[in-house]
A = this chain, B = another copy of it.
Amino acid sequence: MDSEQLREYGHRMVDFIADYYKTIETFPVRSQVQPGYLHNLLPDSAPDHPETLEQVLDDVKVKILPGVTHWQSPSFFAYYPSNSSVAGFLGEMLSTGLNVIGFSWVASPAATELEIIVLDWLAKLLNLPEQFLSKGKGGGVIQGSASEAILVVMIAARDKVLRTAGKNALGKLVVYSSDQTHSALQKACQVKVLKADTSTNFALRPELLQEAVSLDLEAGLFPFFLCGNVGTTSSTAVDPLADLGKIAKSNEMWFHVDAAYAGNACICPEYRQYIDGVETADSFNMNAYKGLLTNFDCSLLWVKDQYAVTEAFSANPEYLKNKASEANLVVDYKDWQIALSRRFRSLKLWMVLRLYGAETLKSYIRNHIKLAKVFEQLVSQDPNFDVITPRIFSLVCFRMVPIDDDEKKCNSRNLELLEAVNSSGKLFISHTALSGKMVLRFSIGAPLTEQKHVKEAWKVIREEASYLLGK
């Protein structure tokens, strides 16, 4: 680690990345390589001796970039966005430069304290209830992903219920969520999945939950955790939080609200309504990298009772003991997460908030939603296409309509269209299934996306569709 070499090489890498952004529209959005392509391009083992930065950067250009799917392309409309910004990039660079591991306060006090402060800032922007702020029992923490956030609160909830119900209840615990919940939850545990359908635009029906909980209680099971959604992955459905929260509360269940994607929009007063009812929740998460210009990874989790979390996750070996922790004067974030070690991730969120300011972030979000409205209108004006669920945020779910009511053919035609569009390299969209229908997802949220990209994308989709219909 030579500071002058860092300077020289760092400048070259910055130029390389700036040039990448300058030319990003020249790449096929979805990588067009075949499985295994890289194996033949790289040697079988690590070099014994140093190679030059030139050689490595050449290889990045020639061998790596063709295998990259360009999430930062303005024509990336698949999945949900992964935001990159100058501020987010700088913050991550600084964090990488300092390269501290802030597992406990003493290991780098600023890493812990800045995280507490910035999570309070965000909680205020979201107008979260006071109990989620750090001044009382609550507080926020940065997790890597929504999956981790959900796993953390679920384990906290589990340990809490087991403390009163006894360890033998372990095999009888039940988690509830709608079938629209992100697969993160399935990864975290076995879930009682409640069906959501078009009648509620894929929101969870409280009656269905109440019924399931009652049946399980009768059967001697322990309902202990409910995951509500604000903005499901498939179609941005919004569960009725207040009603769900009531049921959770009356059954002493932990109520978690996953707003990974849509939570970002809720910093705008006009969208805040979608998390109304969050006051009934025990915990809440949203991913700042999905809409707040903060580079991945950055998933924000707030809890009302930090002690429920630390009781589950605290490990205190002698080699980590220190005066500040022993005196209970500080937060040790190692006790709020699965891993021990952690990066200084609050730096990038802090730099985003300062270099852009809250109002700019709101305009940024609003612009994506405005572009989604444009796309929605284009789709609905075309008789060959249908918008499938009401657009709420910046995702439009749509499909080619069935011909002669043949749903099966319609599904495969939409999948054909998906493949044709993505193989063109001109844009990248993804798909989902809603009540058995194959649906195309057009998700707007890349920082560089402008109206012209949306219109150009629609043109490509229409052309490919015409071609398919003509066949």
**Which A residues have a C-beta under 8 Å from some C-beta of B?**
1-7, 9-11, 13-22, 30-31, 33, 35-39, 42, 44-53, 55-56, 60, 63-72, 79, 82-86, 88-90, 92-94, 96-101, 105-111, 113-114, 117-118, 120-122, 124-125, 144-148, 151, 167-168, 170-171, 182-184, 186-187, 233-234, 295-297, 313, 315-321, 323-324, 329-330, 338-341, 343, 347, 351, 353-360, 419, 430-433, 441, 447-448
Contacts and interface: CB of A to CB of B under 8 A. Distances in A.
Give the dominant DSSP class at A's interface: helix
Q: How many copies does the complex hold?
A: 2
Contacts of A338: 147-148, 151, 187, 338
Contact of A46 (B148, B329, B357): B357
23 contacts: A6-B14, A10-B93, A14-B93, A35-B109, A44-B120, A46-B125, A46-B353, A46-B354, A49-B360, A55-B354, A66-B110, A67-B114, A69-B109, A70-B98, A71-B108, A72-B98, A82-B100, A84-B96, A99-B296, A233-B319, A318-B431, A318-B433, A319-B430
B183 A47 contact: no
A105 B339 CA distance: 25
Contact of A97 (B20, B31, B55, B351): B20
Nearest to A145: B339
A148 B339 contact: yes
A186 to B, nearest CB: 5
B2 A317 contact: no
Contacts of A357: 46-51
Contacts of A110: 31, 33, 38, 63-68
Contacts of A359: 48-49
A296 B343 contact: yes
B86 A100 contact: no
A318 B232 CA distance: 13
